[in-house]
A and B are shown apart, each in its own frame.
Chain A
Amino acid sequence: AQSVAQPEDQVNVAEGNPLTVKCTYSVSGNPYLFWYVQYPNRGLQFLLKYITGDNLVKGSYGFEAEFNKSQTSFHLKKPSALVSDSALYFCAVRDDSNYQLIWGAGTKLIIKP
């Protein structure tokens, strides 16, 4: 069965430090992978996606994600964290049975000044 996992419920990072939010996936075919962010009392916002091509995907707000096929991972990264990056981050993979997204449980990112 296809699935996606976010192993960390919460990640704490000091402002200015690099951040990584982890995501691993399991799919039968080629993965379609996504990252979304949810700010308090708001809907989810698209950050980036990997369909094919370059393993390093650049997205919104300075975020990027690295696709690693051998480790079946798609970790979200940012070189220098901002306090305003504090939010809930969701990784998702497309389910090939119905072409809908399967969502991870979410990782709460807290950036401390």
Chain B
Amino acid sequence: DSGVTQTPKHLITATGQRVTLRCSPRSGDLSVYWYQQSLDQGLQFLIQYYNGEERAKGNILERFSAQQFPDLHSELNLSSLELGDSALYFCASSAGQGTNEKLFFGSGTQLSVL
């Protein structure tokens, strides 16, 4: 068990809808990272938060947004969903703000857009 909790595990929704994915990092970790994993694109970095502040942004669509709350949990909001957004979304956490350290991954949220 990595100590990173993601909910829900599975999410089925329709095109055009909006969903929220939740992540609780490992106790004491200040950084949260969001990744998207799909068969055609592989593992793609979306965004990183460190202690409530956006630290780095990757290939995140404008329809997607995220935030990290004072208790350090994070939410990834996906709106105007398209079929191509179907993927496994991972959250990871680390103690510091750099990625030269170990990342701890949650088990992911499998999103299916129908």
- A residues near B (Cβ < 8 Å) are 32, 36, 41-46, 49, 51, 90, 94, 98-106
Q: Which residues of B contact A106 (CB under 8 A)?
A: 42-43
Q: Are A45 and B2 in contact (CB under 8 A)?
A: yes
Q: Are A43 and B56 in contact (CB under 8 A)?
A: no
Q: Are B99 and A46 in contact (CB under 8 A)?
A: no
Q: Is residue B106 within 8 Å, beta carbon to beta carbon, of the partner chain?
A: yes
- Per the bound structure, the CA–CA distance linking A102 and B114 in Å amounts to 29
Question: Given A94-B100, A98-B56, A100-B56, are A44 and B105 neighbors across the interface (CB < 8 Å)?
Answer: yes
Q: Are A103 and B102 in contact (CB under 8 A)?
A: no
Q: Are B107 and A46 in contact (CB under 8 A)?
A: no
Q: Which residues of B contact A101 (CB under 8 A)?
A: 45, 99, 103
Q: Is residue B25 within 8 Å, beta carbon to beta carbon, of the partner chain?
A: no
Q: Are B43 and A103 in contact (CB under 8 A)?
A: yes
Q: Is residue B4 within 8 Å, beta carbon to beta carbon, of the partner chain?
A: yes
- Per the bound structure, the CA–CA distance linking A32 and B43 in Å amounts to 18
- A to B CB contacts below 8 Å, 15 in the list: A32-B100, A41-B107, A42-B107, A43-B92, A43-B105, A44-B43, A44-B103, A51-B100, A94-B100, A98-B57, A100-B48, A101-B45, A102-B45, A103-B44, A106-B42
- Per the bound structure, the CA–CA distance linking A36 and B108 in Å amounts to 15
Residue in B2, B58, B99 whose CB lies within 8 Å of A43: B2
Q: Are A100 and B106 in contact (CB under 8 A)?
A: no
Q: Is residue B98 within 8 Å, beta carbon to beta carbon, of the partner chain?
A: yes
Q: Are B99 and A94 in contact (CB under 8 A)?
A: yes
- Per the bound structure, the CA–CA distance linking A63 and B45 in Å amounts to 25
- Per the bound structure, the CA–CA distance linking A41 and B107 in Å amounts to 7
Shortest B12–chain A CB gap in Å is: 17
Q: Are B43 and A90 in contact (CB under 8 A)?
A: yes
Q: Is residue B49 within 8 Å, beta carbon to beta carbon, of the partner chain?
A: no
Residue in A41, A43, A98, A99 whose CB lies within 8 Å of B4: A43
Q: Which residues of B contact A43 (CB under 8 A)?
A: 2, 4, 90, 92, 105-108
Q: Are A103 and B42 in contact (CB under 8 A)?
A: yes
Q: Are A49 and B56 in contact (CB under 8 A)?
A: no
